[in-house]
Chains A and B, each alone.
Chain A
Amino acid sequence: MSADTAPVLVLDDVSRVHGEGETEVVALSHASLTVARGELVAVMGPSGSGKSSLLNLAGGLDRATSGRVVVEGVDVASLDARGLAALRRRSIGFVFQDLNLIPSLTAAENIGLPLELDGWSVRRARSQALDALDRLRLRELADRYPDQMSGGQQQRVAIARALVGERTLVLADEPTGALDSHTGEGVLKILRQRCDAGAAGLLVTHEARHAAWADRVVFLRDGVVVDETGTAPTADSLLTEAR
């Protein structure tokens, strides 16, 4: 397989079990999923069905109880803590369900942090961070601290951070939570563009309207993948374009 067609993310029969015996909770059960370059996949399912668990496993934030998680051809189980941290800094962008900007850093510093940790100069990291803010039309927030921004602004800064640099895998857990519908749509457009430009994306959402930006939707129920909407032929004839 060439580098271009190799999937960015492969989950192969992945399970995640918390606790044991009476208190055992199966968060994810034998899930398999492949996301290719250029693809945006939505994950839907009721609360507690395992969506965040799937995302955390895909991002190497949690280890599978069984099965394999492969990112950019690397089995994450084969990496030590440092290797995993490096993979996360370079290749994976995360937007979490509950925001986690670092309170003592400005927006631009938050965004530039993964680059700085990766050895970039402060200056280069800042210039990349400002570019990322520009793309989201948030330049004016660059020097504000998280507690000086609205929830929606913090959310968008978190998204800017996930997209900064050369990330090839973008994982977003309800990234539109605190946003009004127009702003939320803008964020999805950016995610879509990033994927069209070659990244692979995994988007957890409760909203069908947001899942509609994805190429496919994966459904979870009680930790089990129950269905996947395949890539059906597009029904462009639905509406004639009046122009």
Chain B
Amino acid sequence: MSVKQGLLALLAEEPMYGARLRSEFEARTGGTWPLNVGQVYTTLARLERDGLVEPVGGSDDEGRIAYRLTAAGLSEIESWWLTPVDRDSTPRDELVIKLALAVTAPGVDVQRVVQAQRTATLRHLRDLTRLKSRASDEPSANDVAWLLVLENLLFAAEAEVRWLDHVESTLSRMPAAAVRRASAVDAVAGPSDTPRTAAALPKGARA
């Protein structure tokens, strides 16, 4: 997703000028994606060039120009709502890479790596939970948006802790020697008699 879709979605409701688009965008995405006005105007210029938006009349007393969607802009945003988000399936997450390397690197105490991360993620989860518990019982529409963004972060942190638990229990069931023996070379060599380690898994998953 880009700022482009965000602005189109807002303009589908009513014409707005740049500063208003910026504040609406921030308020309605739970403040997770701050924009600067410059970004908004360059995006509007590109959308106008592509025929997706057009100015409504001239500038007002304060020199602001409101924009509205064209028919092409409207159909663009309608198809965006229903198009599933395409996720890059290759794990590029630093934590995933770090643990994959830790499992095969000699002399790295993977359990400590796991524990250090889990401690940090649990703290993060706790802070998110505190924020959430402050939410009002009768939230406004923007509060609900904020809450849903917050919940998404909670679920992500929770999933990370569960995965770390899983890594830990997988490794604890394996003889220490097997973990160390499974060097990057073994992983590349494919199935063998040696127990499969976490490092070998993404390879199988990709096949």
Contact = CB atoms under 8 A, between A and B. Distances in A.
Interface in B92-131: 115, 118-119, 121-131
B3 to A, nearest CB: 18
A243 B123 contact: no
Given A217-B122, A227-B119, A239 B30 contact: yes
B120 to A, nearest CB: 8
A242 B143 contact: yes
A243 B134 CA distance: 12
B123 A209 contact: no
A226 B115 contact: yes
A214 B133 CA distance: 12
Interface residues of A, number: 26
A238 to B, nearest CB: 6
B161 interface: yes
A236 B26 CA distance: 17
Contacts, number: 81
B115 A214 contact: no
Contacts of A226: 115
A219 interface: yes
A234 B142 CA distance: 24
B131 A243 contact: no
Interface string B128-158: 1111010000001011011001100110011
Given A192-B133, A208-B157, A239-B149, A214 B140 contact: no
A231 to B, nearest CB: 9
Contacts of B122: 208, 211-212, 217, 229
Given A208-B158, A227-B119, A46 B125 contact: no
Contacts of A238: 124, 127-128, 131, 153
A213 interface: yes
B198 interface: no
A212 B140 contact: no
B75 interface: no
Contacts of A243: 140, 142-143, 146
B32 interface: yes
B169 to A, nearest CB: 6
A217 B143 CA distance: 29
Interface in A201-243: 207-209, 211-215, 217, 219, 226-227, 229, 232, 234-236, 238-243
A209 B31 contact: no
A209 B154 contact: yes
A209 B158 contact: yes
A30 interface: no
A212 B129 CA distance: 6
Contacts of B143: 242-243
Contact of B123 (A189, A229, A241): A229
A239 B127 CA distance: 10
B27 interface: yes
Contacts of B31: 239-242
Interface string B10-35: 00000000000000001110111000
B193 to A, nearest CB: 28
B46 interface: no
17 contacts: A208-B122, A209-B129, A209-B154, A211-B122, A212-B128, A217-B119, A229-B119, A229-B126, A235-B124, A239-B32, A239-B150, A241-B31, A241-B131, A241-B146, A242-B27, A242-B31, A243-B142
Given A207-B158, A215-B126, A238-B124, 5 more contacts: A192-B133, A217-B126, A229-B122, A236-B127, A242-B27
Interface of B: 26-28, 30-32, 115, 118-119, 121-131, 133, 140, 142-143, 145-146, 149-150, 153-154, 157-158, 161-162, 165, 168-169, 172
Identify the 7 closest CB pairs spanning chains A and B, nearest first: A240-B31, A208-B161, A212-B129, A212-B125, A242-B146, A212-B126, A235-B127
